[in-house]
Amino acid sequence: MPDALPPDGLLADLSALLGPAGLLTDAADIAPALSDWRGLYQGRAMAVLRPASTDQVAACVKLCVAAGVPIVPQGGNTSMVGGATPSEDGRAVILSLARMNRIRALDPVDMTMTAEAGVVLKIAQDAAADCGCLFPLSLGAEGTATIGGVLSTNAGGNTTVRYGNARDLMLGLEVVLPDGQVWNGLRRLRKDNTGYALRHLFVGAEGTLGIVTAATLRMFARPRANEVLFCSVRDEDAALSVFRRFRETDETAIRAFEYMSGVGVDFAVKHIPGVTLPVAERADHYILVDLASTRADADLQGLAEQVLGAAMEEGEVIDAVVGGSEAKRTAIWRIREEHPEAQRKEGASVKNDVSVPVSKVPELIRRASAACVALIPGTRPVPFGHMGDGNIHMNLEQPVDMDPAAFLARSHDIMDTVNEVVRELDGSFSAEHGIGRLKTDMMESWRGGAELSTMQRIKSALDPAGLMNPGKVLP
Ligand code: FAD
Ligand code: MLT
Ligand code: ZN
């Protein structure tokens, strides 16, 4: 049964609109939508609405707004910041986009795809590949995260260094506004300067300004040559230096440049079946380099040998493995992609999704790690992530002998400790995961003044009743 009593007639109206497949009210059916991937929050909701069309989304919004019921949009529910989890008061409905999962159009000449919000990212990638193109957004949750979710969080992931964030891959949007109007902005133009770029307002808004129902996305030429390298490196500075060497030799070839700590790779080898260390000896620092070219005859192995040879001579690279086959490339990527899951299996961890100018990444890793160990002796720093774009997941794993709950009780102290270093290095406290519920209390201190008050005025103008994903993003 639903948790809070719905306003008179609302569920009956929603049921008439959506039918049995479109409205879930049974506690067992709605349970999976009430908590987040990290297990940080346990919300409650009256119902999960599963509209199958834009018109149904609009009608749901009108009914809920008339009844004063908050709406929490949900895609794949892989948010790292509790963005898609309702509050505990049970007043809200969750609006799932799962049934809006059609790819409406694919055009390999214009290099565009129009996909509904509930299309899973991996399905969008596959659809692009099927027509000889590439949709380049790639992240560990790509088998579950949706187009609506990645746009609403402006997700980054592994290929930002080459293709940008989700925002950069979006040409047009279709949005149901908080008053139930449908805005059809599904234009597929590369140039369109016609007033305020409204579409960008909804990217990264985390569902607080309306519901994204479809998007027109940019596709790219499909790489015809690919190579993946896994290297142990001397230290964080050496990792940065290797990145610079690749950039200076052939910037266009870098598709991803990821950093991993020795501890993080140890966890992946320990907890994830089939993951093994590809180099001969354990090290404290590793990098993964993904090289890709649209030229079938590109000599990526030659490029790798040239750069790694020079880096080895300088003592930056200790050992290196070149994938050489599709299976080995996939195996190398798994070591990196399984970091979040391996960390979860090792015990309680505190995540810090932060960014700094690329040049400051080594200093960030060293200083934030030392500060957190000083704060809680025995804490195990597990920094990893998208070094090529300056986004490091400055995560901390609990000390081996500490009670997980006691460690998590210190989460805010740990985040503050990391953020102090991030601030000194001109960075951001949220690089790619967004604000969600987890970081709303940091907004005042980081974005207060003109920036936050402008955001608040935009929110009030579009959603005066404050019913779109309340409690998220803004304090
Ligand atoms: P949800 O979690 O369902 O929702 C996320 C937010 O968007 C919520 O605020 C929700 O209300 C809102 N929302 C969802 N759909 C809509 C819509 N149609 N209209 C309006 N608002 C909407 N993120 C990265 O950026 N880079 C990574 O490398 C990365 N790796 C990850 C690895 C793992 C293992 C996991 C679990 C997560 C990872 N994430 C990463 C975080 C997460 O996958 C992304 O934030 C993703 O964009 C969320 O997509 P989703 O469909 O699951 O959205
Ligand atoms: C990733 O890049 O794997 C995730 O964004 C990081 C995380 O789990 O902290
Ligand atoms: Zn990431």
66/61 Cα distance (integer angstroms): 8
Which atom of ligand 2 is nearest to 393's Cα?
9
Does 393 sit in the ligand 2 pocket, CB within 6 Å?
yes
Q: Please tell me what DSSP assigns to residue 146.
A: B
If one counts every other C-beta atom within 10 angstroms of the C-beta of residue 281, the result is 8
**Token code pair at residue 330:** 């996939």
CB 131 within 8 A of CB 105: no
For residue 204, the CA-to-ligand 1 centroid distance in Å is 10
225: three-class secondary structure by DSSP: strand
Please tell me the number of Cα atoms within 13 Å of 3 on its side-chain side.
22
Which atom of ligand 2 is nearest to 340's Cα?
8
Contacts for 63-67 with beta carbons within 8 Å, 24 or more apart? 63/10, 63/13, 63/14, 63/17, 64/10, 64/93, 64/467, 65/178, 65/179, 65/180, 65/465, 65/467, 67/6, 67/7, 67/9, 67/10
Q: Which ligand minimizes its atom distance to the CA of 336?
A: 2
Each residue's pLDDT tens digit in the chain (475 positions)?
445 667 889 999 999 999 999 999 999 999 999 999 999 999 999 999 999 999 999 999 999 999 999 999 999 999 999 999 999 999 999 999 999 999 999 999 999 999 999 999 999 999 999 999 999 999 999 999 999 999 999 999 999 999 999 999 999 999 999 999 999 999 999 999 999 999 999 999 999 999 999 999 999 999 999 999 999 999 999 999 999 999 999 999 999 999 999 999 999 999 999 999 999 999 999 999 999 999 999 999 999 999 999 999 999 999 999 999 999 999 999 999 999 999 999 999 999 999 999 999 999 999 999 999 999 999 999 999 999 999 999 999 999 999 999 999 999 999 999 999 999 999 999 999 999 999 999 999 999 999 999 999 999 999 999 999 999 999 9
Which atom of ligand 2 is nearest to 386's Cα?
2
For residue 188, the CA-to-ligand 2 centroid distance in Å is 31
Is 0.80 surpassed by the pTM of this model?
A: yes
